[in-house]
Structure 1
Amino acid sequence: MTEILPQQRRKLIEHTIEQYGQARVAELAAELDVSEMTVRRDLTYLEHLGVLVKVHGGAMRRGAPTSAEPGFTTKSALQTEEKDAIAAAAAALITPGSSVALSAGTTTFALAHHLTAVENLTVLTNSPRIAEVFWAADSPGRTVILTGGERTPSDALVGPIALESVRGLNVDAFFLGAHGISAERGLTTPNGLEAQLSRALLAAAARTVVVADHTKWGLTGLHSIAELNRVDTVVTDAALPAAARAELEGQDVSVVIAPEPSTPHVG
Protein backbone atom coordinates (compact mmCIF):
# COMPACT_ATOMS: atom_id res chain seq x y z
CA MET A 1 0.00 0.00 0.00
CA THR A 2 1.35 3.45 -0.96
CA GLU A 3 2.13 5.55 2.08
CA ILE A 4 -0.35 8.39 2.53
CA LEU A 5 0.12 11.74 4.22
CA PRO A 6 -1.03 12.15 7.84
CA GLN A 7 -3.72 14.62 6.75
CA GLN A 8 -5.13 12.10 4.27
CA ARG A 9 -4.97 9.30 6.82
CA ARG A 10 -6.86 11.36 9.39
CA LYS A 11 -9.49 12.24 6.82
CA LEU A 12 -10.01 8.53 6.13
CA ILE A 13 -10.33 7.85 9.87
CA GLU A 14 -12.80 10.71 10.21
CA HIS A 15 -14.85 9.35 7.29
CA THR A 16 -14.93 5.85 8.79
CA ILE A 17 -16.11 7.15 12.17
CA GLU A 18 -18.74 9.33 10.54
CA GLN A 19 -20.03 6.48 8.36
CA TYR A 20 -20.17 3.70 10.94
CA GLY A 21 -20.39 5.65 14.19
CA GLN A 22 -17.39 3.87 15.68
CA ALA A 23 -14.13 2.11 14.81
CA ARG A 24 -11.50 0.03 16.56
CA VAL A 25 -7.79 0.87 16.64
CA ALA A 26 -6.72 -2.55 15.37
CA GLU A 27 -9.09 -2.41 12.40
CA LEU A 28 -8.06 1.12 11.42
CA ALA A 29 -4.39 0.13 11.63
CA ALA A 30 -4.93 -2.87 9.37
CA GLU A 31 -7.01 -0.88 6.88
CA LEU A 32 -4.49 1.98 6.70
CA ASP A 33 -1.40 -0.27 6.89
CA VAL A 34 0.10 1.65 9.82
CA SER A 35 0.91 0.82 13.42
CA GLU A 36 -1.71 0.93 16.16
CA MET A 37 0.40 3.60 17.88
CA THR A 38 0.07 5.80 14.78
CA VAL A 39 -3.71 5.35 14.81
CA ARG A 40 -3.88 6.22 18.51
CA ARG A 41 -1.94 9.42 17.87
CA ASP A 42 -4.32 10.28 15.03
CA LEU A 43 -7.34 9.63 17.25
CA THR A 44 -5.90 11.89 19.95
CA TYR A 45 -5.32 14.61 17.35
CA LEU A 46 -8.87 14.29 15.98
CA GLU A 47 -10.35 14.26 19.48
CA HIS A 48 -8.61 17.57 20.21
CA LEU A 49 -10.25 18.95 17.07
CA GLY A 50 -13.65 17.81 18.36
CA VAL A 51 -14.17 15.33 15.53
CA LEU A 52 -14.61 12.19 17.68
CA VAL A 53 -14.51 10.77 21.18
CA LYS A 54 -11.87 8.20 22.13
CA VAL A 55 -13.11 5.09 23.94
CA HIS A 56 -11.40 1.92 25.11
CA GLY A 57 -9.84 0.30 22.04
CA GLY A 58 -11.07 2.83 19.50
CA ALA A 59 -13.25 5.89 18.95
CA MET A 60 -16.87 6.92 18.43
CA ARG A 61 -18.59 9.76 16.65
CA ARG A 62 -18.94 12.85 18.82
CA GLY A 63 -22.44 13.73 20.01
CA ALA A 64 -24.24 11.26 22.25
CA PRO A 65 -22.06 8.15 22.03
CA THR A 66 -23.97 6.08 24.59
CA SER A 67 -27.31 6.76 22.91
CA ALA A 68 -26.21 6.43 19.28
CA GLU A 69 -28.13 3.60 17.64
CA PRO A 70 -26.81 2.56 14.20
CA GLY A 71 -29.37 1.14 11.81
CA PHE A 72 -29.56 -2.50 10.75
CA THR A 73 -28.14 -1.81 7.29
CA THR A 74 -25.15 0.06 8.68
CA LYS A 75 -24.32 -2.69 11.18
CA SER A 76 -24.79 -5.40 8.54
CA ALA A 77 -21.68 -4.13 6.74
CA LEU A 78 -19.43 -4.56 9.79
CA GLN A 79 -17.43 -7.70 10.70
CA THR A 80 -19.50 -9.86 8.34
CA GLU A 81 -17.12 -12.84 8.29
CA GLU A 82 -16.70 -12.81 12.07
CA LYS A 83 -20.46 -12.65 12.58
CA ASP A 84 -21.06 -15.64 10.33
CA ALA A 85 -18.38 -17.68 12.13
CA ILE A 86 -19.87 -16.72 15.50
CA ALA A 87 -23.33 -17.66 14.26
CA ALA A 88 -22.15 -21.10 13.12
CA ALA A 89 -20.50 -21.76 16.49
CA ALA A 90 -23.59 -20.60 18.38
CA ALA A 91 -25.91 -22.76 16.29
CA ALA A 92 -23.88 -25.81 17.30
CA LEU A 93 -25.05 -25.24 20.89
CA ILE A 94 -28.69 -25.98 19.99
CA THR A 95 -30.23 -29.44 19.64
CA PRO A 96 -33.36 -30.36 17.64
CA GLY A 97 -36.61 -29.80 19.48
CA SER A 98 -35.36 -26.84 21.51
CA SER A 99 -37.15 -23.58 22.15
CA VAL A 100 -34.99 -20.48 21.58
CA ALA A 101 -35.39 -16.72 21.74
CA LEU A 102 -33.37 -14.47 19.43
CA SER A 103 -33.00 -10.75 20.01
CA ALA A 104 -32.95 -8.42 17.03
CA GLY A 105 -29.51 -7.73 15.59
CA THR A 106 -27.16 -8.52 12.74
CA THR A 107 -25.30 -11.35 14.50
CA THR A 108 -28.54 -13.01 15.59
CA PHE A 109 -29.77 -12.51 12.01
CA ALA A 110 -26.75 -14.51 10.82
CA LEU A 111 -27.51 -17.07 13.54
CA ALA A 112 -31.06 -17.47 12.26
CA HIS A 113 -29.76 -18.64 8.88
CA HIS A 114 -27.69 -21.35 10.57
CA LEU A 115 -30.56 -22.42 12.82
CA THR A 116 -32.81 -23.17 9.85
CA ALA A 117 -30.95 -26.48 9.62
CA VAL A 118 -31.99 -27.47 13.18
CA GLU A 119 -35.20 -29.49 13.19
CA ASN A 120 -38.35 -28.91 15.24
CA LEU A 121 -37.34 -25.57 16.73
CA THR A 122 -39.68 -23.17 18.47
CA VAL A 123 -38.35 -19.66 17.83
CA LEU A 124 -39.36 -16.50 19.67
CA THR A 125 -38.03 -13.21 18.33
CA ASN A 126 -38.70 -9.47 18.29
CA SER A 127 -37.09 -9.14 14.85
CA PRO A 128 -39.26 -9.24 11.70
CA ARG A 129 -36.10 -9.88 9.66
CA ILE A 130 -35.23 -12.95 11.73
CA ALA A 131 -38.81 -14.23 11.61
CA GLU A 132 -38.75 -13.90 7.81
CA VAL A 133 -35.59 -16.06 7.63
CA PHE A 134 -37.41 -18.93 9.34
CA TRP A 135 -40.66 -18.43 7.43
CA ALA A 136 -38.77 -18.47 4.11
CA ALA A 137 -37.04 -21.74 5.09
CA ASP A 138 -40.49 -23.35 5.45
CA SER A 139 -39.27 -26.30 7.53
CA PRO A 140 -41.90 -28.73 8.85
CA GLY A 141 -42.25 -28.86 12.63
CA ARG A 142 -40.97 -25.34 13.28
CA THR A 143 -42.95 -22.75 15.24
CA VAL A 144 -42.09 -19.06 14.92
CA ILE A 145 -43.46 -16.49 17.38
CA LEU A 146 -42.94 -12.84 16.42
CA THR A 147 -43.67 -10.25 19.07
CA GLY A 148 -45.60 -7.12 18.24
CA GLY A 149 -44.36 -3.69 19.24
CA GLU A 150 -42.84 -0.46 17.98
CA ARG A 151 -39.94 -0.64 15.55
CA THR A 152 -36.49 0.75 16.46
CA PRO A 153 -33.67 1.87 14.10
CA SER A 154 -32.09 -1.57 14.57
CA ASP A 155 -35.34 -3.23 13.38
CA ALA A 156 -36.32 -4.50 16.83
CA LEU A 157 -39.92 -4.58 18.03
CA VAL A 158 -40.17 -3.14 21.54
CA GLY A 159 -42.59 -1.59 24.01
CA PRO A 160 -45.63 -2.81 26.00
CA ILE A 161 -47.02 -5.03 23.23
CA ALA A 162 -43.66 -6.79 22.81
CA LEU A 163 -43.37 -7.29 26.58
CA GLU A 164 -46.88 -8.73 26.75
CA SER A 165 -45.99 -11.14 23.93
CA VAL A 166 -43.23 -12.79 25.99
CA ARG A 167 -45.03 -12.74 29.32
CA GLY A 168 -45.48 -16.25 30.71
CA LEU A 169 -43.23 -17.90 28.11
CA ASN A 170 -40.19 -20.05 28.91
CA VAL A 171 -37.42 -20.96 26.49
CA ASP A 172 -34.39 -23.23 26.64
CA ALA A 173 -31.96 -20.55 25.44
CA PHE A 174 -31.90 -16.84 24.74
CA PHE A 175 -29.41 -15.61 22.12
CA LEU A 176 -28.64 -11.95 22.70
CA GLY A 177 -26.74 -9.67 20.36
CA ALA A 178 -25.44 -6.86 22.56
CA HIS A 179 -24.53 -3.35 21.45
CA GLY A 180 -21.80 -3.15 24.09
CA ILE A 181 -20.08 -5.40 26.65
CA SER A 182 -17.74 -4.28 29.40
CA ALA A 183 -16.48 -5.54 32.73
CA GLU A 184 -17.73 -2.40 34.46
CA ARG A 185 -21.16 -1.99 32.81
CA GLY A 186 -22.03 -5.49 31.65
CA LEU A 187 -24.40 -5.70 28.66
CA THR A 188 -25.76 -2.41 27.35
CA THR A 189 -27.80 -0.93 24.51
CA PRO A 190 -28.65 2.60 23.32
CA ASN A 191 -32.41 1.87 23.45
CA GLY A 192 -34.20 1.71 26.81
CA LEU A 193 -37.20 -0.25 25.52
CA GLU A 194 -34.90 -2.77 23.87
CA ALA A 195 -33.05 -3.18 27.18
CA GLN A 196 -36.37 -3.76 28.93
CA LEU A 197 -37.40 -6.51 26.52
CA SER A 198 -33.97 -8.14 26.65
CA ARG A 199 -34.25 -8.33 30.44
CA ALA A 200 -37.64 -10.01 30.09
CA LEU A 201 -36.26 -12.56 27.64
CA LEU A 202 -33.26 -13.19 29.87
CA ALA A 203 -35.63 -13.94 32.77
CA ALA A 204 -37.62 -16.33 30.55
CA ALA A 205 -34.58 -18.37 29.47
CA ALA A 206 -32.95 -21.36 31.11
CA ARG A 207 -29.63 -20.07 29.76
CA THR A 208 -28.43 -16.92 28.01
CA VAL A 209 -25.89 -16.90 25.19
CA VAL A 210 -24.41 -13.59 24.04
CA VAL A 211 -23.28 -13.56 20.40
CA ALA A 212 -20.94 -10.62 19.80
CA ASP A 213 -17.75 -9.96 17.87
CA HIS A 214 -14.69 -8.50 19.58
CA THR A 215 -15.50 -4.90 18.59
CA LYS A 216 -18.38 -4.85 21.10
CA TRP A 217 -15.99 -5.26 24.04
CA GLY A 218 -15.40 -1.97 25.84
CA LEU A 219 -18.40 -0.21 24.27
CA THR A 220 -21.15 1.14 26.53
CA GLY A 221 -24.72 1.94 25.59
CA LEU A 222 -26.98 4.28 27.52
CA HIS A 223 -29.15 1.55 29.06
CA SER A 224 -28.05 -1.50 31.04
CA ILE A 225 -29.42 -4.95 30.27
CA ALA A 226 -27.62 -7.16 32.79
CA GLU A 227 -24.37 -7.74 34.61
CA LEU A 228 -21.92 -10.21 33.10
CA ASN A 229 -22.65 -12.82 35.77
CA ARG A 230 -26.20 -13.17 34.38
CA VAL A 231 -24.74 -14.60 31.16
CA ASP A 232 -23.94 -18.30 30.73
CA THR A 233 -21.96 -18.21 27.49
CA VAL A 234 -20.36 -15.65 25.19
CA VAL A 235 -19.66 -16.72 21.62
CA THR A 236 -17.15 -14.38 20.00
CA ASP A 237 -14.15 -14.31 17.64
CA ALA A 238 -10.43 -14.88 18.15
CA ALA A 239 -9.64 -11.15 18.21
CA LEU A 240 -11.24 -10.76 21.64
CA PRO A 241 -8.45 -9.44 23.92
CA ALA A 242 -7.03 -11.94 26.41
CA ALA A 243 -7.88 -9.55 29.25
CA ALA A 244 -11.51 -9.49 28.15
CA ARG A 245 -11.67 -13.26 28.09
CA ALA A 246 -10.17 -13.38 31.58
CA GLU A 247 -12.79 -10.89 32.81
CA LEU A 248 -15.60 -13.03 31.41
CA GLU A 249 -14.27 -16.30 32.77
CA GLY A 250 -13.73 -14.60 36.13
CA GLN A 251 -17.50 -14.03 36.17
CA ASP A 252 -18.08 -17.77 35.49
CA VAL A 253 -19.03 -17.03 31.89
CA SER A 254 -18.11 -19.74 29.39
CA VAL A 255 -16.30 -18.28 26.37
CA VAL A 256 -16.61 -19.96 22.96
CA ILE A 257 -14.16 -18.71 20.32
CA ALA A 258 -15.44 -19.20 16.79
CA PRO A 259 -12.91 -20.46 14.24
CA GLU A 260 -11.26 -17.67 12.29
CA PRO A 261 -12.72 -17.08 8.82
CA SER A 262 -10.57 -18.68 6.16
CA THR A 263 -8.59 -16.24 4.03
CA PRO A 264 -7.08 -16.78 0.57
CA HIS A 265 -3.39 -17.66 0.52
CA VAL A 266 -1.22 -14.77 -0.72
CA GLY A 267 2.23 -15.22 -2.18
Structure 2
Amino acid sequence: MLARQRQSAILELIRQRGGVRVSHLVSRFGVSDMTIRRDLEVLAERGLIDKVHGGATLAGPGSADEPGFAAKSIRQQAEKRAIAERAARLVEPGMAIALSAGTTTASLAARLAEVRDLTVVTNSIPVADAFHQNPRADQTVVLTGGLRTPSDALTGPVAEAAIAALNVDLLFLGVHGMSPRTGFTTPNLLEAAVNRRLIDAARRLVVLADHTKWETIGIATIAPLAEADVLVTDAGLPAEARRQAGEQVGELVVVDTR
Protein backbone atom coordinates (compact mmCIF):
# COMPACT_ATOMS: atom_id res chain seq x y z
CA MET A 1 0.00 0.00 0.00
CA LEU A 2 1.33 3.42 -0.98
CA ALA A 3 1.73 6.07 1.73
CA ARG A 4 -1.08 8.21 0.31
CA GLN A 5 -3.44 5.21 0.19
CA ARG A 6 -2.57 4.30 3.77
CA GLN A 7 -3.12 7.86 4.93
CA SER A 8 -6.54 7.94 3.27
CA ALA A 9 -7.44 4.66 4.98
CA ILE A 10 -6.23 6.02 8.35
CA LEU A 11 -8.31 9.18 7.89
CA GLU A 12 -11.42 7.14 7.07
CA LEU A 13 -10.86 4.98 10.16
CA ILE A 14 -10.56 8.09 12.36
CA ARG A 15 -13.72 9.52 10.82
CA GLN A 16 -15.59 6.30 11.65
CA ARG A 17 -14.31 5.99 15.23
CA GLY A 18 -13.58 9.57 16.19
CA GLY A 19 -10.05 8.59 17.20
CA VAL A 20 -7.47 5.79 17.02
CA ARG A 21 -4.31 4.71 18.81
CA VAL A 22 -0.94 4.42 17.08
CA SER A 23 -0.61 0.82 18.32
CA HIS A 24 -3.88 -0.13 16.63
CA LEU A 25 -2.78 1.42 13.33
CA VAL A 26 0.59 -0.37 13.48
CA SER A 27 -1.19 -3.70 13.89
CA ARG A 28 -3.84 -2.97 11.26
CA PHE A 29 -1.50 -1.80 8.49
CA GLY A 30 1.55 -3.91 9.33
CA VAL A 31 4.02 -1.05 9.30
CA SER A 32 6.34 0.46 11.88
CA ASP A 33 5.42 2.83 14.67
CA MET A 34 7.54 5.52 13.02
CA THR A 35 5.73 5.11 9.68
CA ILE A 36 2.33 5.57 11.33
CA ARG A 37 3.54 8.63 13.21
CA ARG A 38 4.76 10.15 9.91
CA ASP A 39 1.36 9.44 8.36
CA LEU A 40 -0.39 11.15 11.28
CA GLU A 41 1.97 14.10 10.98
CA VAL A 42 1.02 14.52 7.30
CA LEU A 43 -2.71 14.38 8.10
CA ALA A 44 -2.29 16.82 11.00
CA GLU A 45 -0.39 19.29 8.80
CA ARG A 46 -3.33 19.20 6.38
CA GLY A 47 -5.68 20.09 9.26
CA LEU A 48 -7.62 16.83 8.95
CA ILE A 49 -6.77 15.34 12.37
CA ASP A 50 -5.50 16.39 15.77
CA LYS A 51 -2.53 14.47 17.16
CA VAL A 52 -2.98 13.44 20.79
CA HIS A 53 -0.82 11.41 23.16
CA GLY A 54 -0.62 7.88 21.74
CA GLY A 55 -2.86 8.46 18.74
CA ALA A 56 -5.05 10.91 16.86
CA THR A 57 -8.60 12.27 16.78
CA LEU A 58 -10.67 13.90 14.09
CA ALA A 59 -9.92 17.61 13.88
CA GLY A 60 -12.58 19.54 15.72
CA PRO A 61 -14.06 22.93 14.86
CA GLY A 62 -12.33 26.09 16.01
CA SER A 63 -12.74 27.01 19.64
CA ALA A 64 -14.86 30.05 18.70
CA ASP A 65 -17.03 28.18 16.17
CA GLU A 66 -20.66 28.29 17.34
CA PRO A 67 -23.28 26.16 15.54
CA GLY A 68 -26.85 27.44 15.66
CA PHE A 69 -29.57 25.86 17.79
CA ALA A 70 -31.20 24.12 14.81
CA ALA A 71 -27.90 22.56 13.71
CA LYS A 72 -27.15 21.26 17.20
CA SER A 73 -30.66 19.94 17.78
CA ILE A 74 -30.25 17.16 15.19
CA ARG A 75 -27.06 15.79 16.78
CA GLN A 76 -27.01 12.91 19.30
CA GLN A 77 -30.79 13.00 19.69
CA ALA A 78 -31.06 9.63 21.48
CA GLU A 79 -28.31 10.57 23.91
CA LYS A 80 -29.90 13.94 24.69
CA ARG A 81 -33.30 12.35 25.31
CA ALA A 82 -31.81 9.81 27.72
CA ILE A 83 -29.81 12.48 29.55
CA ALA A 84 -32.89 14.73 29.84
CA GLU A 85 -35.07 11.91 31.16
CA ARG A 86 -32.52 11.10 33.88
CA ALA A 87 -32.02 14.76 34.79
CA ALA A 88 -35.78 15.28 35.14
CA ARG A 89 -35.75 12.85 38.07
CA LEU A 90 -33.74 15.40 40.08
CA VAL A 91 -36.58 17.95 39.98
CA GLU A 92 -39.23 17.99 42.70
CA PRO A 93 -42.46 20.00 43.03
CA GLY A 94 -41.96 23.42 44.56
CA MET A 95 -38.36 23.82 43.43
CA ALA A 96 -36.82 26.90 41.87
CA ILE A 97 -34.53 25.78 39.05
CA ALA A 98 -32.48 27.38 36.29
CA LEU A 99 -31.90 26.01 32.80
CA SER A 100 -29.14 27.42 30.65
CA ALA A 101 -29.29 27.59 26.88
CA GLY A 102 -28.68 24.39 24.91
CA THR A 103 -30.43 21.62 23.04
CA THR A 104 -30.16 19.15 25.92
CA THR A 105 -31.62 21.62 28.41
CA ALA A 106 -34.44 22.30 25.92
CA SER A 107 -35.10 18.57 25.83
CA LEU A 108 -35.22 18.58 29.63
CA ALA A 109 -37.69 21.49 29.65
CA ALA A 110 -40.16 19.44 27.61
CA ARG A 111 -40.07 16.76 30.33
CA LEU A 112 -40.78 19.16 33.19
CA ALA A 113 -44.15 20.44 32.02
CA GLU A 114 -46.02 18.27 34.52
CA VAL A 115 -44.00 19.17 37.63
CA ARG A 116 -46.14 21.12 40.11
CA ASP A 117 -45.31 24.52 41.61
CA LEU A 118 -42.13 24.92 39.62
CA THR A 119 -40.28 28.20 39.14
CA VAL A 120 -37.93 28.21 36.16
CA VAL A 121 -35.27 30.80 35.40
CA THR A 122 -33.73 30.63 31.93
CA ASN A 123 -31.81 32.66 29.38
CA SER A 124 -32.89 30.26 26.62
CA ILE A 125 -35.68 31.15 24.20
CA PRO A 126 -36.34 27.47 23.24
CA VAL A 127 -36.49 26.47 26.93
CA ALA A 128 -39.04 29.20 27.65
CA ASP A 129 -41.02 28.16 24.56
CA ALA A 130 -41.12 24.55 25.77
CA PHE A 131 -42.85 25.64 28.98
CA HIS A 132 -45.18 28.08 27.23
CA GLN A 133 -46.36 25.31 24.88
CA ASN A 134 -47.67 23.45 27.96
CA PRO A 135 -48.71 26.27 30.30
CA ARG A 136 -49.59 25.57 33.94
CA ALA A 137 -51.07 28.08 36.33
CA ASP A 138 -48.82 26.81 39.12
CA GLN A 139 -45.59 27.26 37.16
CA THR A 140 -43.59 30.48 36.81
CA VAL A 141 -41.10 31.00 33.99
CA VAL A 142 -38.62 33.87 34.22
CA LEU A 143 -36.90 34.70 30.89
CA THR A 144 -33.91 36.92 31.58
CA GLY A 145 -33.89 39.10 28.49
CA GLY A 146 -30.69 40.23 26.80
CA LEU A 147 -28.83 39.94 23.51
CA ARG A 148 -29.57 36.85 21.42
CA THR A 149 -26.73 34.51 20.34
CA PRO A 150 -26.66 31.89 17.52
CA SER A 151 -27.67 29.22 20.07
CA ASP A 152 -30.76 31.26 21.03
CA ALA A 153 -29.30 32.27 24.38
CA LEU A 154 -29.97 35.68 25.90
CA THR A 155 -26.75 37.29 27.11
CA GLY A 156 -25.16 40.56 28.12
CA PRO A 157 -25.65 43.00 31.01
CA VAL A 158 -29.46 42.70 31.09
CA ALA A 159 -29.35 38.92 31.46
CA GLU A 160 -26.55 39.06 34.02
CA ALA A 161 -28.35 41.64 36.15
CA ALA A 162 -31.59 39.63 36.13
CA ILE A 163 -29.82 36.47 37.26
CA ALA A 164 -27.73 38.23 39.93
CA ALA A 165 -30.88 39.06 41.92
CA LEU A 166 -32.13 35.43 42.04
CA ASN A 167 -31.44 32.22 43.97
CA VAL A 168 -32.34 28.74 42.75
CA ASP A 169 -32.11 25.18 44.06
CA LEU A 170 -30.67 23.59 40.91
CA LEU A 171 -28.98 24.77 37.75
CA PHE A 172 -29.06 22.50 34.72
CA LEU A 173 -26.17 23.64 32.56
CA GLY A 174 -25.67 22.70 28.92
CA VAL A 175 -22.10 23.01 27.62
CA HIS A 176 -20.28 23.06 24.30
CA GLY A 177 -17.36 21.01 25.59
CA MET A 178 -15.68 19.53 28.64
CA SER A 179 -12.09 18.60 29.37
CA PRO A 180 -10.02 17.92 32.51
CA ARG A 181 -7.64 20.70 31.43
CA THR A 182 -10.11 23.42 30.41
CA GLY A 183 -13.23 22.44 32.35
CA PHE A 184 -16.70 23.14 30.94
CA THR A 185 -16.47 25.50 27.97
CA THR A 186 -18.46 27.48 25.42
CA PRO A 187 -17.49 29.13 22.10
CA ASN A 188 -19.33 32.32 23.12
CA LEU A 189 -17.75 34.76 25.57
CA LEU A 190 -21.07 36.40 26.45
CA GLU A 191 -22.70 33.05 27.21
CA ALA A 192 -19.79 32.13 29.47
CA ALA A 193 -20.40 35.23 31.59
CA VAL A 194 -24.13 34.53 31.91
CA ASN A 195 -23.51 30.88 32.75
CA ARG A 196 -21.14 31.89 35.53
CA ARG A 197 -23.89 34.09 36.96
CA LEU A 198 -26.27 31.13 36.82
CA ILE A 199 -23.76 28.98 38.71
CA ASP A 200 -23.42 31.66 41.39
CA ALA A 201 -27.21 31.74 41.78
CA ALA A 202 -27.59 27.98 42.29
CA ARG A 203 -27.16 25.79 45.35
CA ARG A 204 -26.29 22.78 43.13
CA LEU A 205 -24.88 22.52 39.61
CA VAL A 206 -25.99 19.71 37.29
CA VAL A 207 -24.19 19.60 33.94
CA LEU A 208 -25.85 17.85 30.99
CA ALA A 209 -23.36 16.79 28.30
CA ASP A 210 -23.34 13.88 25.86
CA HIS A 211 -20.14 11.95 25.15
CA THR A 212 -19.22 13.99 22.05
CA LYS A 213 -18.55 16.98 24.31
CA TRP A 214 -15.52 15.25 25.86
CA GLU A 215 -12.28 16.99 24.78
CA THR A 216 -14.25 19.50 22.73
CA ILE A 217 -12.94 22.89 23.81
CA GLY A 218 -14.62 26.27 23.42
CA ILE A 219 -12.80 29.57 23.74
CA ALA A 220 -14.25 30.44 27.17
CA THR A 221 -14.20 28.33 30.32
CA ILE A 222 -17.41 28.43 32.33
CA ALA A 223 -16.23 26.41 35.33
CA PRO A 224 -13.77 23.63 36.21
CA LEU A 225 -15.11 20.06 36.20
CA ALA A 226 -14.80 19.95 39.99
CA GLU A 227 -17.48 22.63 40.32
CA ALA A 228 -20.19 20.26 39.03
CA ASP A 229 -22.19 18.52 41.75
CA VAL A 230 -23.55 16.12 39.12
CA LEU A 231 -22.52 15.38 35.53
CA VAL A 232 -25.12 13.49 33.50
CA THR A 233 -23.70 11.96 30.32
CA ASP A 234 -24.27 8.86 28.18
CA ALA A 235 -22.70 5.45 27.79
CA GLY A 236 -20.76 6.55 24.71
CA LEU A 237 -18.25 8.24 27.02
CA PRO A 238 -15.04 6.11 26.93
CA ALA A 239 -13.82 4.34 30.06
CA GLU A 240 -10.77 6.55 30.49
CA ALA A 241 -12.91 9.69 30.15
CA ARG A 242 -15.31 8.31 32.76
CA ARG A 243 -12.39 7.74 35.11
CA GLN A 244 -11.07 11.26 34.64
CA ALA A 245 -14.48 12.90 34.95
CA GLY A 246 -15.43 10.74 37.94
CA GLU A 247 -12.34 11.87 39.80
CA GLN A 248 -13.35 15.52 39.53
CA VAL A 249 -17.14 15.93 39.50
CA GLY A 250 -19.20 15.32 42.62
CA GLU A 251 -21.26 12.54 41.01
CA LEU A 252 -20.99 11.02 37.53
CA VAL A 253 -24.27 9.66 36.13
CA VAL A 254 -23.98 7.60 32.93
CA VAL A 255 -27.22 6.79 31.12
CA ASP A 256 -27.85 4.04 28.57
CA THR A 257 -29.48 5.10 25.30
CA ARG A 258 -30.83 1.63 24.49
Specify whether residues 179 and 24 from structure 1 end up closer, same or farther in structure 2 by C-alpha distance, changes over 3 A only.
farther
CA shift, 1:6, in A, is 7.9
CA shift, 1:243, in A, is 1.9
Asked whether the 8 Å contact 1:248–1:254 carries over to 2, the reply is: no
Summarize the alignment of residues 26-37 of structure 1 with structure 2, pairs less than 5 Å apart.
Answer: 26=17, 37=25
In structure 1, distance between residues paired with 2:164 and 2:15: 38
Query: Cα deviations across residues 39-69 of structure 1 (Å, max 9, x unaligned)?
Result: x9997654332346557743214xxx11111
Q: Are 1:206 and 2:197 counterparts?
A: no
Report how many residues are paired.
238
Asked whether the 8 Å contact 2:178–2:214 carries over to 1, the reply is: yes
CA shift, 1:7, in A, is 9.4
Query: Cα deviations across residues 123-163 of structure 1 (Å, max 9, x unaligned)?
Result: 00001111011011012200000011111111111000100
Specify whether residues 129 and 252 from structure 1 end up closer, same or farther in structure 2 by C-alpha distance, changes over 3 A only.
closer
% of aligned pairs identical? Answer: 46
Query: Cα deviations across residues 99-122 of structure 1 (Å, max 9, x unaligned)?
Result: 110010011011111111222110
2:45 is aligned, of 48, 53, 58, to 48
CA shift, 1:9, in A, is 7.5
Please, which runs of 5 or more residues in structure 2 have no aligned partner? 29-35
For 2:229, the equivalent position in structure 1 comes to: 232
User: Is the deviation greater in 243-252 or in 70-79?
Assistant: 243-252
For 1:250, the equivalent position in structure 2 comes to: 247
Asked whether the 8 Å contact 2:18–2:58 carries over to 1, the reply is: no
For 2:31, the equivalent position in structure 1 comes to: none
In structure 2, distance between residues paired with 1:200 and 1:24: 37
Asked whether the 8 Å contact 1:175–1:211 carries over to 2, the reply is: yes
In structure 1, distance between residues paired with 2:128 and 2:74: 20
In structure 2, distance between residues paired with 1:253 and 1:25: 32
For 1:114, the equivalent position in structure 2 comes to: 111
For 2:80, the equivalent position in structure 1 comes to: 83
TM-score normalised over the length of structure 1: 0.80
Query: Cα deviations across residues 163-187 of structure 1 (Å, max 9, x unaligned)?
Result: 0111220000000011111111111
In structure 2, distance between residues paired with 1:43 and 1:94: 47
Summarize the alignment of residues 117-136 of structure 1 with structure 2, pairs less than 5 Å apart.
Answer: 117-136=114-133
Asked whether the 8 Å contact 1:72–1:106 carries over to 2, the reply is: yes
Asked whether the 8 Å contact 2:60–2:216 carries over to 1, the reply is: no
User: Is the deviation greater in 41-50 or in 184-193?
Assistant: 41-50
Please, which runs of 5 or more residues in structure 1 have no aligned partner? 14-22, 30-35, 262-267
Letter in 2 for 1:170: N
CA shift, 1:28, in A, is 8.5
Summarize the alignment of residues 97-108 of structure 1 with structure 2, pairs less than 5 Å apart.
Answer: 97-108=94-105
Question: SS at 1:67's partner residue?
Answer: coil
Question: SS at 2:111's partner residue?
Answer: helix
CA shift, 1:230, in A, is 1.0
Letter in 1 for 2:72: K
Query: Cα deviations across residues 211-267 of structure 1 (Å, max 9, x unaligned)?
Result: 000110111111111111111000010111222222222225201112223xxxxxx
In structure 2, distance between residues paired with 1:190 and 1:252: 22
Specify whether residues 181 and 133 from structure 1 end up closer, same or farther in structure 2 by C-alpha distance, changes over 3 A only.
same
For 2:153, the equivalent position in structure 1 comes to: 156
Specify whether residues 45 and 247 from structure 1 end up closer, same or farther in structure 2 by C-alpha distance, changes over 3 A only.
same
For 1:17, the equivalent position in structure 2 comes to: none
Question: SS at 1:118's partner residue?
Answer: coil
Q: Are 1:165 and 2:165 counterparts?
A: no
Question: SS at 1:100's partner residue?
Answer: strand
TM-score normalised over the length of structure 2: 0.82
For 1:178, the equivalent position in structure 2 comes to: 175
- RMSD over aligned Cα atoms: 2.7
**Greater radius of gyration (CA):** 2
1:147 is aligned, of 144, 149, 168, to 144
